Structure 1
Amino acid sequence: MKIGIIAANGKAGKLITAEAVSRGLDVTAIVRGENKTEASKVITKDIFDLTYDDLKDFDVIIDAFGTWSNETFPMHSTSLRHLADILSGKDNRLLVVGGAGSLYIDKEHKTRLMDTPDFPEAFMPLATAMGKALDELRKRDDVKWTYISPAADFQADGKRTGEYLLAGEEYTTNANNESLISYADYAIAMIDEAVNGNHIQERISVLAK
């Protein structure tokens, strides 16, 4: 299996790349600058400059792109739209590192985590931008996409336990009433989905056991 990982130099991207390499997959890091990952193959290109020719040989493209300033939040939508456009009608799968704010807290799927009073105000602009990007992606029936949301507490430096719980559209807690996952365990879930392809055109979520 050939996997291309966009923004492989980022915190999530690095661990996803390392997980894929550890499984013996054919991994290419897609980065803007110097490759800082364990991948031996590299495409050096900005996400907005990627064409289908760049991505056509990958069975799976993982989009780990993120941006964190008010000025650049719209790029969550524009970058994902660009990738969806160039993969439109193709067999290549697109897996997206998503956010938790858009997870639903009710079975009717009317209220999202970010709509609740206790949602941290500091995270609202990012959650809103990522939620908008997901809403737009849902309309794309021409792309084999999967959007993977982490738990509410997404821990960059958390331990790799080697285990996780798979959930769906709704905010879920584990037996300890916690919604958390480390980047390392999230990477395991991401590569499991890349290999298995069980949730095409679906949003799923993952959390620690």
Structure 2
Amino acid sequence: MSAPTPIQVLVVDDHAVVRRGVVAYLEALEDVAVAGEAGTGSEALERLARASALQELPDVVLMDLQMPEMDGVTATAEIVRRFPGVKVVILTSFGETERVHAALEKGASGYLLKDAGPAEVDAALRAAVRDEVFLDAAVTRKLTQEMRAPRTGLGVLTAREKEVLILVAEGRSNKDIADHLVISERTARTHVSHLLAKMGLSSRTQAALLAVKEGLVQPR
């Protein structure tokens, strides 16, 4: 059997020491490769544009939030718009929950504390590329405390959509949801899209946070 293709990761942080620490973590992980580094959001977009032209886009961008020139929230929105196949995982300090909410609204796939260990970094990257959700329990509790109420309540969801919401919050991909409910992957994807639209949410991670906030699942 051939070796699995490494997950390609672009690291974006304006602090060189933090960036080098993250890169060192990544280089120690199996099946993960550092595709590059950037010190600002605008530099990240330039790197991605060049990589796209060469058809060498990374799988995941690890994105800091507070940076000069272009912050992580703005950069996340641009990446999701211009390079929809690239996942964005936010690198956050514990006090940045307002910015994390904003990044999730712009399409970020998840978030990690900057002092996360290698196992957590690895789990978050793999969840992102599988279109699953990785929630750091400590950050999740703080995020859910500050989470703005959705436009509508859970009562607008069908029983099946609520079931799908719980499975999303458990970190399951559309394929896992389909297998669990014995439905097609396309139907699972449709259920996820419908529940996001009904709840006024823009990402699976936001949906998972809502499920935690409403007590449907416990943060891991």
Q: TM-score, with normalisation over the residues of structure 1?
A: 0.46
Greater RCO structure (CA 8 Å; 6+ sep)? 1
Which structure: larger Rg? 2
- By percentage of residues, which structure has more helix? 2
Give TM-score scaled by structure 2 length.
0.44
